[in-house]
A and B are shown apart, each in its own frame.
Chain A
Amino acid sequence: MGQSLISNNIRKLRFFHDEMTQQQLAEKVGVTRQTIIAMEQEKYSPSLELAFRIARVFGVPLEEVFSYDDESKSR
């Protein structure tokens, strides 16, 4: 519960994809807008399947969307 160790660039990637809205992204990957909001606020770590679907929407590899940084947050 709380802040996730997985950070993401979803907000930035949405901006660079013609200011894609949270609703549009949610519809493309098959989740609710609330889940996209929770992910952007790093309050929810998506499943591997959802992570791949998001990366595919933006046409980038998974590592460009998500990163795991346990060291910086454990301090």
Chain B
Amino acid sequence: MSFQEKNITVSLANFSLILTIYLISLFLMIQGGSFNSTNVFRLWGIVIALAVLVTIFATILTHILSAIVQAIKTGEENPKIEDFADERDRLIDLRGTQITYFVSSIGAFLAMLTFVLGQPPLVMFSLLIFFGVVAQIVGDVSRLVLYRKGF
């Protein structure tokens, strides 16, 4: 597994965790009758802050763990990690981003449709962040598939 694939796998795990936290929090909010703008926007903030912080820490952790594994394998003091992106990595990343944008566009459209169905704006905001995270997960999965199946 290349460094890029490891990075994507970690990102996929992070966003799956964030989605689980988001859905559980939303479910508890609806169950407890506290589905109001203050709580929904606080959840928005938590999800965005988590996404940024966890991504930064995960990238650092992937670098450190890769260096440790490489050092154990080769026995070198300063192991070389292939962490640069070549033309294939860039193409796969581009395709993944394309898929992420496509899914988030569909999600944004579906979220807007809730207005037509007479739902309150809070439903639209909840769906927007849900589809944003789902789009990221779908993008990461498609990147992994492209690495495995060929591109």
Does A1 contact B86, Cβ atoms closer than 8 Å? no
Does A32 contact B150, Cβ atoms closer than 8 Å? no
A34 surroundings in chain B (CB, below 8 A): 2, 4-5, 82, 88, 147
How distant is the Cα of A42 from the Cα of B21 in the complex, in angstroms? 41
With A32-B84, A33-B82 already in contact, the answer to whether A2 and B89 are too (CB < 8 A) is no
Whole-angstrom distance between the Cβ of B66 and the nearest chain A Cβ: 13
For residue B149, CB closer than 8 A to chain A, the reply is: yes
Does A43 contact B151, Cβ atoms closer than 8 Å? yes
With A32-B89, A34-B2 already in contact, the answer to whether A2 and B84 are too (CB < 8 A) is no
Does B151 contact A31, Cβ atoms closer than 8 Å? no
Does B88 contact A44, Cβ atoms closer than 8 Å? yes
Does B150 contact A31, Cβ atoms closer than 8 Å? no
Whole-angstrom distance between the Cβ of A5 and the nearest chain B Cβ: 12
A1 surroundings in chain B (CB, below 8 A): 146, 149-151
With A1-B151, A43-B151, A44-B151 already in contact, the answer to whether A31 and B88 are too (CB < 8 A) is yes
How distant is the Cα of A5 from the Cα of B89 in the complex, in angstroms? 20
Residues of B bordering A, CB below 8 Å: 2-5, 82, 84, 86-89, 146-147, 149-151
Residues of A bordering B, CB below 8 Å: 1-4, 30-35, 38, 41-44, 46-47, 50
- 7 A-B pairs within 8 Å (CB atoms) are namely A1-B149, A1-B151, A32-B86, A33-B2, A34-B5, A35-B87, A35-B88
